[in-house]
């Protein structure tokens, strides 16, 4: 039986690596995105993975989107809540819009998405929910009160839902990436990267999106059936939680 996986924000960056790795592992995969049609079309052409556009911050859009994916691809067995944004600014300058955008996208989306799939997973007695949190949700980060709060919230969500679903064959886990070699990090000037960022990372290198993807593939597998409520740090030793 081929399982179906849905990766939110699955068309770019870490999410694209996750979508591809799940496809290679034999899943039917759907990838959602917010609005970058060009990147999504390129990703679809390169991978053959179905793409769907909706805003994960909207409960109703998630309900419609999940219905569409389930009717076109299959009932969702694996949900990867990966979509996320930053709106970095020191707290004393942070606007309510910057706070709400980050909380609703990075934390609200876990409710909006997981709520759509949980009843099907309970009925089928199998499910995997994998939430992409962040090292900055574990340790806090200057200029990221909104982001750190949202990502710490993802970890609390993971633990509580894991308790509720453990008996029903559903696992819920979080992954906390450290600095990963994506467009966002590639935009950091080379001297800042070498002098300020790499010295913080005992492994002395950035992580690769594929290294997050492989962790997702493991957590999605039958082999990980006894792993639930966990927070997996993938950060080169930068923060030992």
55 near ligand NDP (CB under 6 A): yes
Nearest distance, CB of residue 42 and ligand NDP, angstroms: 10
> Do residues 138 and 241 lie in contact, with contact meaning Cβ atoms separated by under 8 Å?
yes
Nearer to ligand NDP, 132 or 161 (CB): 132
How far does Cα 153 stand from its chain's mean position?
13
129 near ligand NDP (CB under 6 A): no
Stretch 1-40 residues interacting with ligand NDP (CB under 6 A): 8-9, 11-15, 32-36, 39
DSSP letter string over 40-85?
HHHHHHHH--EEEE--TT-HHHHHHHHHHHHHHT--EEEEEE----
Among residues 184, 192, 203, 241, which is the contact residue for ligand NDP, using CB under 6 A? 184
Instruction: Spell out the residues 6+ positions from residue 19 whose beta carbon is closer than 8 angstroms to its own.
Output: 5, 7, 10, 11, 29, 31, 43, 47, 49
Nearest distance, CB of residue 28 and ligand NDP, angstroms: 19
Nearest distance, CB of residue 27 and ligand NDP, angstroms: 18
**Only segment of 55-63, 121-129, 157-165, 188-196 that touches ligand NDP (CB under 6 A):** 55-63
> Do residues 207 and 134 lie in contact, with contact meaning Cβ atoms separated by under 8 Å?
no
Residues noted as catalytic: 147
* Residues 130-169: x where in contact with ligand NDP by CB under 6 A, - otherwise, as a string: --x-x-----------------------------------
179 near ligand NDP (CB under 6 A): yes
Q: Which residues does residue 198 pair with via DSSP β-bridges, in sequence order?
A: none
**Only segment of 71-79, 82-90, 117-125, 163-171 that touches ligand NDP (CB under 6 A):** 82-90
Number of shown-chain residues binding ligand NDP (CB under 6 A): 30
d(CA 40, CA 43): 5
Residue 112 phi, psi (nearest 5): -55, -40
Ramachandran sector of residue 143 (left: φ over 0; alpha: ψ -120 to 50; beta: rest): left
């Amino acid at each position: 039986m081929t399982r179906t996986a849905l990766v939110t924000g699955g068309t770019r960056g870490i999410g694209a690596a996750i979508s591809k790795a799940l496809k290679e592992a034999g899943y039917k995969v759907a990838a959602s995105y917010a609005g970058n049609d060009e990147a999504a079309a390129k990703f679809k052409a390169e991978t053959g993975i179905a793409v769907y556009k909706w805003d994960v911050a909207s409960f109703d859009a998630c309900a419609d989107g999940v219905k569409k994916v389930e009717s076109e691809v299959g009932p969702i067995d694996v949900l990867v809540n990966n979509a996320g944004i930053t709106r970095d600014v020191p707290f004393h300058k942070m606007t309510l819009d910057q706070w709400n955008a980050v909380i609703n996208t990075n934390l609200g989306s876990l409710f909006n998405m997981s709520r759509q799939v949980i009843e099907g997973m309970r009925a089928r007695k199998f499910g995997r929910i994998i939430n992409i949190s962040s090292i900055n949700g574990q340790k806090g980060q200057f200029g990221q009160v909104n982001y750190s709060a949202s990502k710490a919230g993802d970890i609390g969500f993971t633990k509580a839902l894991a308790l509720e679903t453990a008996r029903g064959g559903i696992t819920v886990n979080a992954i906390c990436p450290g600095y990963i070699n994506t467009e966002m990090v590639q935009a950091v000037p080379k001297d800042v990267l070498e002098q300020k960022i790499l010295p913080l990372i005992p492994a002395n290198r950035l992580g690769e999106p594929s290294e997050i993807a492989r962790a997702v593939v493991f957590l999605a597998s039958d082999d990980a059936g006894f792993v639930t409520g966990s927070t997996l740090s993938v950060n080169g030793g930068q923060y030992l939680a």
